[in-house]
Amino acid sequence: MKLLPLLVCGLLSACAGLPAIPGLPAADATPTETPAFAAARAGGAEAIQIGVLRSGLSSILFLDTFRDGVGTWISSDGVSIAMRDGMMIATRGLGGDLLGSDVTEPFVAITSGQPGQVTRFHTFLDGENRAVRRAYVCDITARGDRQITLGDRDVPVRLLGEDCVNPEQQFLNLYWIDNTGRILQSRQWAGDFAGVLTFRIVP
Amino acid sequence: MVAAVAGFAMPVSAETLSFYGTPGLMDMPSAYVLGDGELAMTLAGFGPNLRGTLAFQITPRLTGAFRYSWIDNFNRDGGDRYDRSFDLAYQITRETETVPAISIGLRDFGGTGIYSSEYIVASKAITPTVTVTGGMGWGRLAGRNAVSSPFAFIDDRFETRPFAGEGGIDTTGQVDFGLWFRGDVSPFGGLTWQVSDKLTLMAEYAPDLYQREVERGAAAPLTPLNFGAQYQFDNGVTLGAYSLYGNDLGLSVNYVLNPARARVPGGIGVAPLALRPRDTVVGDSNPTRRLSSGLAGEGMTLENFVVAGSTAEIRVLSTTFPATAQAIGRAARVMANTLPSEITRFEITLLNYGMPVSTVAINRADLKELEFAPDGSWQSLARAQISDATSTDRAGELPDVYPAGNLDFGTYLTPSLFDPDSPLRLEAGVKLTGYFSPAPGMILAGEVRQPVYSTIDTAIRTSNSEIQRVRSDAVRYYQESELELAYLTAEHFARPAPDIFSRVTVGYLERMYGGVSAEVLWYPVDSRLALGAEVNYARQRDFDGGFGFQDYDVLTGHGSAYFDMGNGYFAQVDAGRYLAGDWGATFRLDREFNNGVRVGAFFTLTDIPFEDFGEGSFDKGIIIEMPVTWFTGKPTQDRIGSVVRPVLRDGGARLEVRNRLYGVTRDLRGAEISDSWGLFWR
């Protein structure tokens, strides 16, 4: 279950035909499982299923650290994704990483099931090692009741959409919420480079 | 997008590149520019002409290009001509709704003069997909329908153009100020039509008569009308096919690279370990071992560990992360996950060649507060203190760090460019590289090479230099050696005073010289300016690459000023005495992107007259360097690239000492650390 090589191949022109540079290691060389991942798996850590929409691939990530309400989930090849109550707030190692976020407003609106307009803030890493801040205006809409399957159980959920724009970018996040307000499943945008990630809790 | 909003016509995609590899139509230039900082590589050929060009958008309006051309049967003796040329173009006005883009250009202003020409050109989009270009060309461009100079009313001098190649091969490379914009002019122009995102069609009127080529047997142009099509593939490669001058088919391929856009922004290396909650950090009484192995996992060697009250200082050598800020971020997290909670402040000192260079101080509480904060990058930089490293004693040194050493077996590839008989020669082989460091700053290092395959050996051109052959015999070193000693030196690096660095190197300094080299550098941590001085005694080594020396020796040295101009531009001036005993100065300007991509150019003027220097008239060249991580996204400090000189001769030649201090320290000083601070949390 390797998240990274697949993502890179899905996103980069490197796989689309630019001439290879002799002597350079291939970008998709198979990395070995990181020690942190092996330890988390052996220790029976909590798991989450994360997919990359563009490549259509998914992987199981384990909870490595939980501090001040933020969980850091790690993949076998060294990517980490930080989440607060089911909302993604940071990525490390996907490329064009999401360095940090303020998603307080959308979190409150979504978990309380309240449609309306909110703002969210992201900071991304650009190709010149700079942190670039972006603010978005988002419309939260209720999209009706759904049913999703977790393990062998069908769970009734409400689907909420979050349509975000700024002058340069736009994206749609979706959240499947149970009746306690918990995000069971979601798709959330991780930036121009990584694109949309999908999340689903592993019961 | 802006154009669509404003409602006037503006081309929607990147500019088309001409056969000369600069923005233009086919054989004619346009007034457009590349995107700022972009590098365009073009290979284009038709008839007997093949041109390879590297163009660089030096500033948003200034475009520079270096070209290597191959013209079949151009030489008087019937041989092929390999020719190097440089271009510069400046965009005077930007295109607006009413005003066209206007550029002024110099083509081949310092080469052998085959392409020597100047132009003024205007370009304007008349619909969102159609552009019109029209201009006037001097020199080579003044062929068909030439009229007398429009500048003749200023001065009669403008009416005639002296012959560029007048002084023969020895005057090539001189900047031909005396020729510019003199003599007849011809009009030129053309149209491009962007049919789709990928396909562009073009037509042009090209007055170039290819006179010199025709004199040497090439077919004469039948018409001035050229037609072509360019197709851009998804991966960015553009292919073009053309009908040129009524009797030739042309092909071109080009690729435009934006150095600011690394393939993977920030890289895809393994994520840092997240900061652990306080109660899970086991503070043991002697955390050195865990600290050392944690840092080793991040590609850092822990050399010293000192605790004073609530402050812990580590001194580390980072050999993996290309940006210092990333290494600091990783080191700080290892400290936070290892050290007991009484320690509230971390000081991370970065070492290079055993010298403590800079210290970054970080409050432990800030780390925890800002790890995923929306503005954590800027806030963590604002709260960190970057200062000159002051701790030069060996306090807290880990017992197993010194003596240090390493032996590495590897391969090498040395290209030799632009031999007129064969433009690309190379030598490949195996090498054994090693170092031994008995104490901080003391390094014995050496490299032995064994060539396995070489086409440099077969070069038959020998130096015709009329001055001391301090570099022009370089090929003999390849030809007359088998197993060779590339270098073998004892070096001492030190910090004699705050903001001052020093280096002494003794031994076989480089392939061609041995001797003694001493250098000092003044470089305050936050300064844009650094000043250095270097004195060397050098003696020429034997051609066979062994331990022997030849008779020639020289006292050489330079005073250097390094200036960070901001926005990624760096200037450097080295003034002093060169290897042939000539006095002069080297001027260098680099544009460097935060991700480490560097494009630069330099020239050296000394008291050796142009005619004694020989071909090229004076030493000059360009520098291109790219970090390997730009391509792969993996964290590594390896870089590829090199200095490209059109010709290597004996005037203005500098000793090539390894590890000059500015290069050793700059990435670890204040401006470079803060410029890449986005990687601190990566």
Distance of residue A125 Cα from the nearest chain B Cα, in angstroms: 6
Q: Which long-range contacts (CB under 8 A, 24 or more apart) does B147-154 make?
A: B147/B184, B147/B185, B147/B186, B148/B184, B148/B185, B149/B181, B149/B182, B149/B183, B149/B184, B149/B185, B150/B185, B151/B181
* Cβ distance of B633 and A36 shorter than 8 Å: no
Distance of CA B378 to the CA centre of its chain: 29
Reference B582, options B660, B467, B464; nearest CA is B467
pLDDT at B212: 84
Instruction: Tell me the β-bridge partners of B536.
Output: B517, B556
Per residue in A137-181, pLDDT tens? 999 999 999 999 988 889 999 999 999 999 999 999 999 999 999
Q: Which residue of A has its CA nearest to B627?
A: A24
**What does the pLDDT average to over B302-319?**
96
* Cβ distance of A129 and B263 shorter than 8 Å: no
Spatial distance between the Cα atoms of B372 and B392, rounded to a whole number of angstroms: 35
The domains of chain A, with CATH numbers, are 4-21+35-40+47-201 (2.40.360.10)
pLDDT at B418: 74
Helices assigned H by DSSP within B281-350: 288-296, 324-336
The Cα-based distances of B564 to A78, B17, B347, B437, B623 in angstroms read 36, 32, 26, 32, 17
Distance of residue A63 Cα from the nearest chain B Cα, in angstroms: 11
User: What's the CATH number for B2-162+179-257?
Assistant: 2.40.160.40
DSSP letter string, B108-167: SSSSSSTT-EEEEEEEEESSSSEEEEEEEE-GGG--TT-B--TTTTT-GGGG----TTTT
Spatial distance between the Cα atoms of B62 and B34, rounded to a whole number of angstroms: 9
User: What's the CATH number for B278-400?
Assistant: 3.30.300
* Cβ distance of B270 and A34 shorter than 8 Å: yes
Which of B263, B273, B678 is closest, CB to CB, to A130? B678
Three-state DSSP class for B243?
strand
Break chain B into its structural domains and give their ranges. Answer: 2-162+179-257, 278-400
Distance of residue A160 Cα from the nearest chain B Cα, in angstroms: 24
Q: What is the DSSP letter of B677?
A: G
Q: Which residue of B has its CA nearest to A103?
A: B374
pLDDT at B194: 93
- CB within 8 Å of B233: residues ≥ 6 apart: A17, B198, B239
* Cβ distance of B632 and A25 shorter than 8 Å: yes
HSE-up of residue B573 (Cα within 13 Å, Cβ side): 7
- Please give the radius of gyration of chain B, using alpha carbons only, rounded to the nearest integer: 28
> Amino acid identity of B350?
L
> Percent of chain B, pLDDT > 90?
69
A161 touches chain B (CB under 8 A): no
Per residue in B319-343, pLDDT tens? 999 999 999 999 999 999 999 989 9
How much is the mean pLDDT over chain B? Answer: 90
Q: Angle at the Cα of B447 (from B441 to B453), degrees rounded to 5? A: 155
Spatial distance between the Cα atoms of A175 and A138, rounded to a whole number of angstroms: 14
pLDDT at A26: 36
- Please give the radius of gyration of chain A, using alpha carbons only, rounded to the nearest integer: 17
Query: Can you say whether the dihedral through the CA atoms of B130, B135, B137, B141 is positive or negative?
Result: positive
Q: Which residues of B touch A90 (CB under 8 A)?
A: 372
DSSP letter string, B22-69: SBBSSSSB-S--PSTT-EEEEEEEETTEEEEEEEEE-SSSEEEEEEEE
Report the residue count for chain B.
682
Spatial distance between the Cα atoms of B261 and B597, rounded to a whole number of angstroms: 10
pLDDT at B654: 95
Contact A129, B266 (CB under 8 A): yes
pLDDT at B263: 86
Reference B351, options B386, B312, B392, B311; nearest CA is B392
* Cβ distance of B631 and A12 shorter than 8 Å: no
Which of B372, B595, B640 is closest, CB to CB, to A89? B372
How much is the mean pLDDT over chain A? Answer: 85
Unique residue bearing structure tokens 């030096």: B58
Per-residue tokens: B403 = 């003596």
pLDDT at B486: 95
Residues 59-98 of A with CB under 8 A from B: 64-68, 70, 72, 74, 77-80, 82, 89-90, 92-97
Q: Which of A21-30, B251-260, B275-284, B308-317 has the lowest mean pLDDT?
A: A21-30
- Give the DSSP H/E element, type plus range, for residue B629: helix B628-632
* Cβ distance of A101 and B267 shorter than 8 Å: no
A129 touches chain B (CB under 8 A): yes
Which of B270, B375, B633 is closest, CB to CB, to A27? B633
The Cα-based distances of A178 to A71, A110, B181, B485 in angstroms read 20, 11, 77, 72
Cβ neighbours around B571 below 10 Å, total = 15
Q: Which of B379-383, B423-427, B497-501, B504-508 has the lowest mean pLDDT?
A: B423-427
* Cβ distance of B372 and A82 shorter than 8 Å: yes
Distance of residue B116 Cα from the nearest chain A Cα, in angstroms: 33
* Cβ distance of A130 and B233 shorter than 8 Å: no
Strand B500-508 relative to strand B484-497, pairing: antiparallel
> Percent of chain B, pLDDT > 70?
94
Q: Which residues of A touch B267 (CB under 8 A)?
A: 93, 95
* Cβ distance of B368 and A34 shorter than 8 Å: no
Contact B293, B302 (CB under 8 A): no
**What does the pLDDT average to over B369-377?**
95
Helices assigned H by DSSP within chain A: 4-11, 35-42, 104-111
